[in-house]
Amino acid sequence: MSLEENKAIVRRYTEELNKRNLAIIDELIVPDYFTFVGYPLHGREEFKQFITMLFNVFADWHETIEDIIAEGDKVWYRIKITGTHTGEYRGYFPLIGKKIRVAPTGKKFTITEVSIKRIVNGKIVESWGVYDNLDFYKQVGAIEYKDLPEDVS
């Protein structure tokens, strides 16, 4: 696949997920898919469950690609994710190493994620991503944190 074809796959995948078309996962992701965004998910079915949870908890979840670069079999992209916390969130909070539950707060959030997808023969085989989960948890009301004092010396 060309670099442009690989970028087109990522764009199409993102557009279809924004339409809540979960069939795109079966079409563009291999059965033994691996992803790591905060914690690992193994397999297409586990990933589908995760995406379904996101759509249930954040009903207006939306991703906008802001930058996209391809090199070899990898596509790097930066996305803006927006949504509203409308359902109970059960997630892993890496800073404390525990799972948490957060009742719906109705709060809106905006985060930026940087993700790398590896594409082989037109299918996404793995993905790695990072985002500021501390800011995300603060925005949805899962945690509160205070500003640091001006002088911490």
Question: Is 149 a member of any domain?
Answer: no
Residue-wise pLDDT for 29-47, tens only, equals 999 999 997 778 999 999 9
CB neighbour list of residue 78: distance below 8 Å, 6 or more residues apart: 65, 66, 67, 68, 112, 113, 114, 115
Q: What is the arithmetic mean of pLDDT over 37-58?
A: 90
pLDDT, averaged across the chain: 89
pLDDT at 145 over 80: no
Domain region containing 77: 3-139
Confidence label for 92 from pLDDT (cuts 50, 70 and 90): low
Predicted TM-score (pTM) above 0.85: yes
Residue-wise pLDDT for 129-139, tens only, equals 988 777 888 88
Question: In this structure, what token pair is assigned to residue 132?
Answer: 């500021």
| Cα 49 from Cα 100, distance rounded (Å) | 18
Question: Is 12 a member of any domain?
Answer: yes
Looking at the structure of the chain, the number of domains it has is 1
Question: Is 121 a member of any domain?
Answer: yes
**Which residue in the block uniquely carries the two structure tokens 């690992």?**
40
| pLDDT at res. 37 | 77
Question: Is 152 a member of any domain?
Answer: no
CB neighbour list of residue 21: distance below 8 Å, 6 or more residues apart: none
- Domain of 33, CATH number, reads 3.10.450.50
| Cα 39 from Cα 96, distance rounded (Å) | 13
66-80, 101-115, 132-146, range with the lowest pLDDT: 132-146
Question: Is 24 a member of any domain?
Answer: yes
